[in-house]
Amino acid sequence: MTHGSAHAHEAGAHRTSMGLDSRKMAFWAFIGSECLLFGSLISTYLVYKGRSLTGPFPHEILNIPFTSFSTFDLLMSSLAMVLALAAVQRGDMKQGKLWLLVTALLGLVFLAGQFWEFSHFVREGLGLTTNLFGSTFYVLTGTHGAHVTVGVIWLLTLWVQALRGKHATTATYLRIAAILVMITLIEVGVFYVPTFQALLVPILLVLSAVKFTLVAMFYMHLKFDNRFFAFLFGGPLLLGVAVVVSLLFIFYGALRLRTGT
């Protein structure tokens, strides 16, 4: 994007009384609300985890290596997206289009994997109404899949526009990608270390929060944008985390009272 076109974009932006782009503000508020949505879905899944009376059960059907591959695929799509944005901001539309296409293709790979996974689970006898695990799992992951589907459609039809402000270098994005991959490897590793089994859920929640924060700060450019956007995003995120933690304490506290442990 040239210097002149950047000024034209700024002149055409819809400003609020705070001098911020209303479209960007609305989008960060939307992402913050998504934290609440997925916080409630994750809480529901965790609260009912292990309470199914009939199988199949999670340990019988979940494929951790395949799930790890899907996570890696989404992390790489985040990297491809930010490289597309960086290319557009330096005026290299050829590279911008290439990385945008790569992002969309990685999203399609994830959706194809989710379709295969759901089909496999159904063949194994796990349906939406089979048990509590099936109901909470399909609603949580299905909602996520619906979001990815909308994102892929958007990526294939939307011309990437540059955001204002300074941004990190490609080297920084690659370093963040390496950190995200290492965190994902740690997440996979704790499944196979008996010592960590008692603290598995808290460990995975913390690692997921770290990855989510890194993606938002660097790949979504929150670190380089107006601080008010961080408030719009961080407020609902913290509230969502509080909801998850509170429900877990309430549930496990009630469970210990009933069992006398």
Name the residue ranges covered by the structural domains of the chain: 56-252
Structure tokens at 42: 């994750």
The helix/strand count (H/E) of the chain reads as 9, 0
CA distance 221 to 167: 7
Closest CA relative to residue 242, chosen from 45, 35, 46, 49: 35
Alpha carbons 81 and 87: distance in angstroms, whole number: 10
The model's pTM is 0.61
Token reading at 243: 């909801």
Calculate the alpha carbon distances from 39 to 33, 116, 238, 255 in Å: 10, 26, 10, 21
Alpha carbon distances (Å) from 106 to 35, 38, 119, 146: 23, 22, 20, 15
Number of Cβ within a 10 Å radius of residue 128 = 12
Around Cβ 30, how many Cβ atoms within 10 Å? 12
Rounded CA separation 39/41 (Å): 6
pLDDT confidence of residue 22: 76
Query: Which DSSP string do the residues of 108-155 spell out, in sequence order?
Result: HHHHHHHHHHHHHHHHTT--TTTSHHHHHHHHHHHHHHHHHHHHHHHH
pLDDT of residue 163: 39
Distance of CA 38 to the CA centre of its chain: 9
Q: How many residues would you count in the chain?
A: 261
Along the 261 residues of the chain, how does pLDDT read in single tens digits? 444 444 444 444 566 666 777 777 777 787 888 888 888 888 888 888 888 888 788 888 888 888 889 989 988 988 888 888 888 778 777 787 888 888 888 988 999 999 999 889 989 898 888 898 888 898 888 888 888 887 887 777 654 343 343 455 667 767 777 777 777 777 677 767 777 766 766 777 777 777 777 777 776 667 766 677 777 677 777 777 777 677 666 666 655 666 665
What pLDDT is attached to residue 6?
A: 42
Q: How far is Cα 141 from Cα 114, in angstroms, rounded to an integer?
A: 9
Phi, then psi, of 244 in degrees rounded to 5: -60, -50
Give me the pLDDT at residue 47, please.
Answer: 82
Place of tokens 């309430």: 250
* Chain centroid offset of residue 218 CA: 14
Q: What would the CATH number be for the domain defined by 56-252?
A: 1.20.120
| Maximal CA-CA distance, the chain | 70
Q: How far apart are the first and last CA of the chain?
A: 63
User: For residue 56, is the peptide bond before it cis, meaning its omega torsion is within 30 degrees of 0?
Assistant: yes
Question: What pLDDT sits at residue 3?
Answer: 42
